[in-house]
Amino acid sequence: MSGHTPAPGNRPLLLALTLPALLALIQQQLLLRQPPRLQQLRAAAASAGPAALQARFSRPMNPASLERQSQLRPSLAHRWFGRGDSLLLGLNGGQRIDAPLRLEIGGQDSRGLALVASAWHWDPRPRILAVVTVAGGEQVQLRDHDGRWRPLSPVWAEIPLLLPLGDGSGLATASRQGDGQLQLWRIPLHQHNLVPLQASDPQPPPPPTAGEPEPLRGSPVLFAHYSSNRRGDLLIQSGQLDPGSGDSELRRNGGGRQRLLWPVSGPMQLLPEGGAVVVPDTEGLHLEALPPQPPRRQTLPGSRDLSSFCPQAGRALLLRHWPDFRRSLELVEPGQPPRQLWLGSQALVASACDRSGERVWALLLEGQGRPLLSLVTFSRGGQLLARRDLRGWELEPGTGLHWDPASGQLLAALRPQPAQSSPTAPGRPSPLPPAQPVLIDGQSLELRPLNQPVRQVHWLPAG
């Protein structure tokens, strides 16, 4: 037995080795007796419903207890998804959000210990973003939920490009100079749509604030195109008229830049969920994997253009051009051939879809002289569900149709059709009235124009 007794000189060393392990064990036991806590709560991309939040806890949670003890006010159907210490709170589809939400989070961890309860102000509703005509030129402005318009940019002579980043963290825009060239800008945004509620401070959160414009290019360019995804990455295509001057650059939201060297015949579009980009060329549409993924290409041949993406991953609407000058609208889904929803001789000028394409909206234009704009709704099987003639309205050229699942509304920049009258001077037509933002109910197709002259409109995601 005496052979196993540590020598007196080794006892300090043994104590030095065992004491940290003993302290770590004691600390671990103390932490296990502490109640679980919510460590992080942030907005998440909602592909199947109107809104979602990503929550991370200090230890694995019991999802069933979270569903029982968490509350939303006003009450909305919701579910907790996932397992472990990271879970997703998603609102069920088909619900409209008309006001900010109060979220109270409670539950137990996997050992039955109660979570430290917390309350949050959550407003997942997007705001309207527009290029607004003002004295001295144009300006990027934001329409807040109270109806007031707030400036986000300097006044520039002309703003031909505007795109909100997909995570709501900023804007990509461009100002036109006197020589016709474009200066490209990024405007950072700070939003306050998800903040903890303090009993001592019942004041509502402030509206979004904008930082100073940051140049995206060191020198002006003649043309440019932007695309963004829900991660907040930004794809910039730009260049001059000289052959070979075009450049495509991907700027990651977390930092880093990558040049994209694929030959293209038009604007590229990042997939909303990230990881790939749609590349058009003379052979058709290609889906290219983005670095650092290994190169991978999927091709859809034919004369097709990407019309719009659906909220659910992998779904999109394509505009196909036929040899007899007809056009068709197609829904594409993962692993399936394109499904034709509509075929006709009218011009399809914009489209949008809900979730995975259960409901699809399209703006059609037909006729000569004073063409008639109409809004139609299709099911995912191609059945015509509704049609509304937008007599007296025109779509502002270069703008689209934008869907908001939170409010169940479409957004478009529509211009009143000018009355037929004699020109103000020989050979000079009457000036066109300005466009204005128009909200369209996704079910009834009722229009609600907003009295504000604009050139472009978008939804700003509630980041």
Residues 6 or more apart whose CB falls under 8 angstroms from that of 49 comprise 90, 91, 92, 93, 95, 405
Continuous segment of H or E residues that includes residue 12: helix 11-33
Query: Are 174 and 158 spatial neighbours (Cβ–Cβ below 8 Å)?
Result: no
Q: Dig out the tokens for 318 from the structure.
A: 């394509």
Report how many helices (DSSP H) and strands (DSSP E) the chain contains, helices first. 2, 38
Domain that residue 118 falls in: 38-122
* Total domain count, the chain: 1
CA distance linking residue 169 with residue 165, whole number of Å: 6
CA 290 to chain centre: 19
> Positive or negative CA dihedral for 213, 217, 218, 223?
negative
For residue 94, is it within any domain?
yes
For residue 89, is it within any domain?
yes
Phi, psi of 68 (to 5 degrees): -75, -40
Q: What is the largest CA-CA distance in the chain?
A: 118
Question: What pLDDT sits at residue 243?
Answer: 75
Continuous segment of H or E residues that includes residue 33: helix 11-33
CA distance linking residue 235 with residue 214, whole number of Å: 16
Question: What pLDDT sits at residue 245?
Answer: 76
For residue 96, is it within any domain?
yes
Strand locations in 152-275 (E): 161-164, 170-176, 182-190, 194-196, 209-210, 214-215, 223-228, 234-239, 247-251, 257-259, 269-270
Question: What pLDDT sits at residue 93?
Answer: 84
For residue 112, is it within any domain?
yes
Answer yes or no: pTM beyond 0.85: yes
Distances (CA, A) of 182 to 130, 159, 221, 222, 240: 19, 9, 5, 6, 10
Q: Dig out the tokens for 135 from the structure.
A: 């004295």
Q: How confident is the model over 288-299, as pLDDT tens digits?
A: 999 889 999 999
For residue 400, is it within any domain?
no
Question: What pLDDT sits at residue 283?
Answer: 87
Question: What pLDDT sits at residue 251?
Answer: 97
Query: Are 152 and 140 spatial neighbours (Cβ–Cβ below 8 Å)?
Result: yes
CA 215 to chain centre: 22
Question: What pLDDT sits at residue 335?
Answer: 87
Question: What pLDDT sits at residue 198?
Answer: 80
In a 3-state reduction of DSSP, which class is residue 377? strand
Count the Cβ atoms, other than its own, within 10 Å of residue 300.
Answer: 18
> Positive or negative CA dihedral for 427, 452, 460, 393?
negative
Question: What pLDDT sits at residue 1?
Answer: 44
For residue 25, is it within any domain?
no
Q: Dig out the tokens for 449 from the structure.
A: 């124009």
Query: Are 38 and 55 spatial neighbours (Cβ–Cβ below 8 Å)?
Result: yes
DSSP per-residue letters across 67-117: HHH-EEES---EEEEEETTEEEEEEPTT----S-EEEEE--BBTTSPBP--
Question: What pLDDT sits at residue 102?
Answer: 95
Burial 76-113 (b: 16+ CB within 10 A, else e): eebebeeeebebebbbebebebeebbebebbbbbeeee
Q: How confident is the model over 244-278, as pLDDT tens digits?
A: 778 999 999 988 999 999 988 899 999 999 999 99
CA distance linking residue 114 with residue 124, whole number of Å: 28
Mean pLDDT, 10 residues at a time, over the chain (463 residues)?
Answer: 56 63 58 84 80 95 96 94 95 91 96 95 96 96 96 98 97 96 98 87 84 96 96 95 85 93 92 95 93 92 95 93 96 93 97 93 92 97 97 95 95 90 56 93 97 96 90
For residue 103, is it within any domain?
yes
Instruction: Give me the residues paired with residue 437 across strands.
Output: 413
CA distance linking residue 244 with residue 406, whole number of Å: 43
The tokens 């495509």 sit on which residue? 248
For residue 427, is it within any domain?
no
In a 3-state reduction of DSSP, which class is residue 22? helix
Question: What pLDDT sits at residue 191?
Answer: 96
Q: How confident is the model over 83-127, as pLDDT tens digits?
A: 999 999 999 988 999 999 999 999 999 999 999 999 999 999 999
CATH number of the domain where residue 45 is located:
2.60.40
